[in-house]
Amino acid sequence: MPPIAPAAAPVMVVDHPLVQHKVTLVRSEDTTTDNFRRLVREIAQLLTYEATRDLAMETVAIKTPIAPMQSPMLSGKKLCLVSILRAGNGFLDGMLDLLPAARVGHIGLYRDPETLEPIEYYFKMPDDIQERLVIVVDPMLATGNSAIAALNRLKEAGVTALKYVCLIASRPGLRALQAAHPDVAIVTAAIDEQLNEHGYIVPGLGDAGDRLYGTR
């Protein structure tokens, strides 16, 4: 009997009205660069709440101005946020607003325009990356190739606790990522069904990096 494939980790689509309202605004071609950047940062903050919902807690003794008490605080593995350059940095900023103590790693990947395969040009992580819960961030999960390459690289570096957070995911990209890394939970604000011949998500929002930084 062939081995049974492990069940894929869950995909969480954050359907909160505030998130969906802001996603509509970032999709619009009429949204200016400064507003696009601000909205991506705000959406990243909101998705961070869901991505960190299951963090371990412990109870500690503190004293308020009125009385002593037992109160919950975060415990367990420390966090590292890993940005897939360059668009990931626009998402990273919003997450760091809520997680200022998190360490930060960067993976530089560009997509070959002919094959759509990722090519790595940069990899910089904290020395203790294998001891941390790592959340990989990138606004767009299109073909899934860059996300798969990034997660492969992190696992090679010894990381065992991983999540992936994006703004918009394509259905084909989700399938590819879950097939390659069924142990990695995914958090997104929207799922679009199609990719075009250039590997862009349809309807998507265009090139997130160009829209974040005003380039073409």
User: What's the pLDDT tens digit per position in 124-156?
Assistant: 999 999 999 999 999 999 999 999 999 999 999
Q: Is the pLDDT of residue 86 over 90?
A: no
Residue 6 confidence (pLDDT): 62
Residue ranges for the known binding site for uracil are: 201, 206-208
CATH no., domain 11-213: 3.40.50.2020
Q: Where are the domains of the chain?
A: 11-213
* Alpha helices (H) along 30-158: 33-51, 88-98, 145-156
Q: Are 39 and 50 in contact (CB under 8 A)?
A: no
Q: Are 180 and 4 in contact (CB under 8 A)?
A: no
Arithmetic mean of pLDDT, 27-56:
94
Of the listed ranges 8-17, 107-116, 180-189, 207-216, the least confidently predicted one is 107-116
Residue ranges for the known binding site for 5-phospho-alpha-D-ribose 1-diphosphate are: 86, 111, 138-146, 207
Name every residue whose Cβ is closer than 8 Å to that of residue 196 and which is 6 or more positions away in sequence.
202
- Amino acid sitting at position 61: A
Name every residue whose Cβ is closer than 8 Å to that of residue 119 and which is 6 or more positions away in sequence.
109, 110, 111, 112
Residue 114 confidence (pLDDT): 76
How far apart are alpha carbons 86 and 90 in whole angstroms? 8
Residue 5 confidence (pLDDT): 56
Q: Is the pLDDT of residue 199 over 90?
A: no
Arithmetic mean of pLDDT, 58-69:
96
Of the listed ranges 29-38, 74-83, 134-143, 170-179, the least confidently predicted one is 74-83
112 is catalytic: no
The two structure tokens encoding residue 71: 């109160």
210 is catalytic: yes
Give me the sheet containing 190-192, strands edge to edge. Answer: 140-141, 168-170, 190-192
Going by C-alpha positions, the residue among 28, 152, 34 that lies closest to residue 84 is 152
Q: Is the pLDDT of residue 106 over 90?
A: yes
Q: Which is the catalytic residue, given 32, 115, 160, 215?
A: 115
Q: Is the pLDDT of residue 203 over 70?
A: yes
Q: Which is the catalytic residue, given 111, 153, 171, 183?
A: 111
111 is catalytic: yes
Q: Is the pLDDT of residue 76 over 80?
A: no
Q: Are 212 and 40 in contact (CB under 8 A)?
A: yes
- Amino acid sitting at position 47: L
Name every residue whose Cβ is closer than 8 Å to that of residue 104 and which is 6 or more positions away in sequence.
80, 81, 82, 83, 92, 96, 126
φ, ψ dihedrals at 77, nearest 5°: -65, 140
Arithmetic mean of pLDDT, 168-192:
96
54 is catalytic: no
